[in-house]
């Protein structure tokens, strides 16, 4: 019976090789603790979830170690890691990293203690004030000494909140998506302790980055960019962010659409929509009257089928990637 045994061995080897070929290439990534964008598994980390899904679609597997931010940059510079899921781009980092197209935009709003004026439209209006920022982040020109206020560096947003509530600083800069999440789940505590600005004082695009020396880095970045566009079009992007609508140019024609995430759209057109990176400053849903729902374009709210216009179970439901994030007041 040697031939059947030999044939069996050949089949086993063929299957093993096929599985090996089909297995996605693993990329070793590093990020710091920056909820709800990056964190350990099981905690809020929407940027990592977005990047992992985009890489998976492109045939890769991203595995992220969570380190202190300084260790992330050092590890990338020394070649200990292939890249990072979420970085701001600057000239120094571009020397050793390739960056994707922006897939999120960090819009930094002013947060103060309850009763504080948070209407400043620029940093010069905050001259003489102390503003908490996160140490190590590439804020660029906005934190230069001549920009207005004195900037105080904390380890993370939670530490900066403690500085604010204990009166050690007058304000802190917080990402719009993070503070929106806090307001959604800790409205009572936030309303009791905080005054929150609505005008972004700074905008920083968020990128996936790979080491320039990584073989095939340019190809991976190109595939990643394509995957993100697919995720926007099919609603996956919304679901990971826990958003019912986003504003984006989903079909690449230069015009913006309101892209539905697959939950109940509600009886009326959305009044406000989270805008993708690079979209117009105006985030009013009324500024855009084209709706993209389940792969189809509708020119105006009246054209949207009634079957989508419901409010009920599922509307506003969060994806596991947006696990509840709480700040300690």
Burial 218-234 (b: 16+ CB within 10 A, else e): eebbebbbebbbebbbb
Average per-residue pLDDT in the chain? 83
How far apart, in Å, are the Cα atoms of 58 and each of 23, 26, 133, 223? 12, 12, 35, 6
Q: Provide the pLDDT for residue 261.
A: 80
Which structural domains are found in the chain, ordered by start?
25-103+206-230 (3.40.190.10), 105-204 (3.40.190.10), 236-308 (no CATH)
- CB within 8 Å of 220: residues ≥ 6 apart: 27, 55, 58, 60, 210, 214
* Higher-pLDDT residue of 120, 141: 120
Q: pLDDT tens digit string along 1-43?
A: 445 555 555 444 454 444 444 456 999 999 998 878 899 998 8
* Interval 80-90 mean pLDDT: 96
- The rounded distance, in Å, linking the Cα atoms of 245 and 211 is 33
Lookup result for tokens 């709800």: 36
Residue 322 to residue 32: CA distance in whole angstroms: 17
Residue 15 has a pLDDT of 46
pTM score of the predicted model: 0.75
């Amino acid at each position: 019976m040697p031939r059947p045994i030999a044939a069996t061995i050949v089949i086993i080897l063929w299957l093993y090789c096929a599985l090996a070929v089909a297995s996605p290439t693993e990329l070793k990534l590093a990020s710091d603790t920056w909820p709800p964008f990056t964190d350990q598994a099981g905690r809020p980390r929407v940027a990592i979830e977005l990047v992992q899904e985009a890489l998976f679609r492109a045939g890769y597997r991203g595995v992220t170690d969570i380190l202190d931010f300084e260790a992330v940059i050092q590890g990338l510079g020394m070649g200990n890691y292939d890249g990072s899921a979420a970085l701001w781009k600057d000239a120094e980092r571009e020397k050793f990293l390739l960056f994707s197209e922006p897939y999120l935009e960090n819009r930094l709003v002013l947060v103060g203690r309850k009763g504080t004026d948070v209407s400043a439209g620029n940093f010069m209006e905050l001259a003489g004030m102390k503003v908490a920022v996160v140490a190590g982040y590439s804020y660029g020109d906005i934190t230069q000494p001549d920009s207005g206020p004195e900037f105080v560096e904390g380890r993370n947003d939670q530490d900066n909140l403690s500085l604010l509530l204990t009166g050690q600083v007058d304000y802190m800069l917080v990402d719009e998506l993070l503070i929106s999440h806090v307001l959604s789940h800790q409205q009572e505590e936030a309303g009791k302790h905080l005054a929150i600005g609505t005008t972004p004082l700074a905008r920083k695009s968020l990128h996936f980055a790979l080491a320039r020396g990584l073989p095939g880095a340019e190809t991976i970045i190109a595939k990643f960019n394509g995957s993100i566009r697919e995720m926007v079009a099919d609603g996956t992007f919304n679901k990971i962010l826990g958003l019912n609508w986003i504003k984006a140019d989903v079909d690449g024609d230069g015009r913006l659409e309101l892209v539905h995430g697959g939950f109940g759209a509600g009886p009326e057109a959305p009044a406000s929509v989270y805008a993708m990176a690079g979209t117009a400053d105006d985030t009013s849903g009324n500024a855009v009257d084209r709706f993209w729902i389940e792969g189809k374009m509708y020119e105006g709210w009246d054209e949207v089928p009634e079957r989508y216009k419901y409010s009920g179970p599922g509307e506003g439901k969060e994806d596991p990637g947006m696990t509840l994030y709480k700040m300690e007041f």
